[in-house]
Structure 1
Amino acid sequence: FYTISSPDADGEVEITVDAGPESGAVAGALAGLEPGATVTIAGPFGDQYYDDEPRPVLLAGGPGVGPAVAIAGRALAAGNEAVVVYRDDAPIHRDRLDALRDRGVSVTVLDADASLTDAVADALERDGQVFVYGFEGFVDDALDAVVAAGDDPDAATVENFG
């Protein structure tokens, strides 16, 4: 599985790749590349994107952390706030998450079996545009947590990886 994880596209695009045994041939081929390699990408393309909302609340499961760290970085660069709630059994991008936290982003990392309810409620204590990135089970859990927090799940920007 792979996701775009760079905050902008100024000459380079960073991707996050999970090259585990269930990830498929494309992820395995990408994982075998050296950093800085040139590649051509022709999809699939998501249709959800960050449009400089002032306080993105980023709910990420698994490889959804790629777009979450990218959006949080871009929000900071635009002078905005950001919140990241990330759940995974083997969290990645720890350095980027720590750097975002050091720059003022509220970052919560949860174990794969942890409930999202409290973390999402805390994240939504103030207004923000909810973004959800992850596989179907995570997306369902995240939207349930949004409802439990009293927010409208239909207003969330959602990218379901299947």
Structure 2
Amino acid sequence: MNATQVSVRNVRTVGDETVALELETPPEFDAKPGQFVLLRATVGGEDVSRHYTLSSADVEETFEITVGVDPEGDLSPWLADREPGDTVMVEGPFGTVFYENEDVVLLAGGPGVGPAVGMGERALADGHDVAVVYQDDSPAHEDRLATLAAGGATVIITDGEIDDAVAEVVDGGQVYVFGFREFVDDSVAAIDSAGGDSDDAKIENFG
């Protein structure tokens, strides 16, 4: 989908300096959990764009992105200040790492919790096994993680090492990794140490 103006339906706080934007789904927008979009805006007279991975289970009528708000950032504070009825420009979806109707093991570092909860909700609704290992010293989306756990998913939240947690779940389905490079590197090591094959993992490296 080329750049399209979409309306903001809702903005809510989902964690420390973290918001979720619910956006109106434009025609012919067919994204899967795990894929990402490009948001464009003019902020302070400057054109700014950033990629954000979907954090909703589907894109029927609306879709969601989760934004970590850096007070010194170019775009995230502006997004956090949006109100229902405001508009943003969206392109996409992009990405080859996406849900494919299967049991899932979701390793999430920091903002990687966004795609993890969306994909976990979708897989659970489809009747699949779900495991989430989430590393963060200030967790976001705790309500949705609790709902996943109540629905039968294995949810492990840690602010430290992930090796033991990964060893518990690595054989539970297709492994996905969402996070920045350090977390990705730690996840790859943990998967291999636990007897899994990191080459088979689907990885979205945020840089």
Matches of 2:149 and 2:89 in 1, distance apart? 33
SS at match of 1:84: strand
Matches of 1:18 and 1:44 in 2, distance apart? 20
The equivalent position to 1:93 in structure 2, one of 134, 141, 144, is: 141
Deviations 1:53-92 (A, max 9, x none): 1x10000001000000000000011111100000012110
Matches of 1:71 and 1:92 in 2, distance apart? 15
Amino acid at match of 1:143: V
Correspondence 1:40 to 2:86: no
Matches of 2:96 and 2:186 in 1, distance apart? 21
SS at match of 1:91: coil
Equivalent residue number for residue 68 of structure 1: 116
Equivalent residue number for residue 98 of structure 2: 49
The equivalent position to 1:118 in structure 2, one of 160, 164, 168, is: 164
The equivalent position to 1:25 in structure 2, one of 74, 78, 81, is: 74
TM-score by length of 2: 0.71
> How far 1:36 sits from its partner (Å)?
6.8
Matches of 1:86 and 1:155 in 2, distance apart? 20
Could you say if the C-alpha distance between residues 161 and 146 of structure 1 is closer, same or farther in structure 2, counting changes exceeding 3 Å?
same
Corresponding pairs, count: 157
Q: Among the aligned pairs, what percent are the same residue?
A: 52
Q: Give the structure, 1 or 2, with the largest relative contact order (CA under 8 Å, sep 6 or more).
A: 1
Equivalent residue number for residue 77 of structure 1: 125
Larger gyration radius, structure 1 or structure 2 = 2
RMSD over aligned CA atoms reads 1.8
> How far 1:40 sits from its partner (Å)?
2.7
Task: Give the unaligned 5+ runs of structure 2.
Answer: 1-49
Matches of 2:84 and 2:139 in 1, distance apart? 21
Matches of 1:137 and 1:36 in 2, distance apart? 38
SS at match of 1:49: coil
Residues 133, 156 of structure 2: 8 Å contact kept? yes
Residues 3, 17 of structure 1: 8 Å contact kept? no
Specify which structure has the higher proportion of helix.
1
Equivalent residue number for residue 138 of structure 1: 183
Residues 129, 173 of structure 2: 8 Å contact kept? no
Deviations 1:22-47 (A, max 9, x none): 5x322222111125754331258333
Matches of 1:82 and 1:66 in 2, distance apart? 15
